[in-house]
Amino acid sequence: MTVDDQQALGWEIEITGGLKASFFQPDGSSRPGTDWSLVFRQPPNEHNVLIRSYANGKIDQDAETTAVLAHARSLLEGGWDPRSYGGTPGELCVEVATDQTRDQSVTKPRWKFW
């Protein structure tokens, strides 16, 4: 599944899939997140990279993929090179903030005039 294509410093970035799971943390606990599979292309080369995202609450998939792509672009702009990716799961992680206004419940009146 192709979610989005972007260009950053000559690299085409494409999300090809994601896996939602609970991932072990260094303290022994687990935390829900998503491992995103990205392809960085600079023809004729392709580099597959996993970026793990952790959301700080409920978030829709479009917002999460946008945040992951923005993180990938910021890595490239910061001088990171996809060829240096070691392939270790959890090597690249991003915290995805949620929009608090979207999660707030709307208070509805118990009665209504017709």
Strands (E), 1-114: 5-8, 11-24, 30-42, 45-55, 93-96
- CA atoms lying within 13 Å on the CB side of residue 49: 30
Percent of the chain with pLDDT over 70: 79
Longest Cα separation, the chain: 66
In a domain, 77, yes or no: yes
Evaluate whether residue 74 is within a structural domain.
yes
Establish if 40 belongs to a structural domain.
Answer: yes
Whole-prediction pTM: 0.77
Dump pLDDT digits (tens) for 20-78. 999 998 899 999 999 999 999 998 999 999 999 998 888 888 889 999 999 999 999 99
> Is residue 107 one of the residues assigned to a domain?
no
pLDDT, residue 98, reads: 75
**pLDDT tens for residues 67-114?**
999 999 999 999 999 999 998 888 999 999 876 434 444 444 555 565
- Domain with 81 in it: 5-94
**CA angle 16–3–58, rounded 5-degree value:** 105
pLDDT at residue 4 is higher than 80: no
Cα–Cα distance, 19 to 1 (Å, whole number): 12
- Specify if 100 maps to a domain: no
C-alpha–C-alpha distance, residues 55 and 43, integer Å: 33
- Please name which of 30, 28, 46 lies closest in space to residue 38, comparing C-alpha atoms: 46
Bridge partner residues of 7 (DSSP): 12
pLDDT attached to residue 101: 36
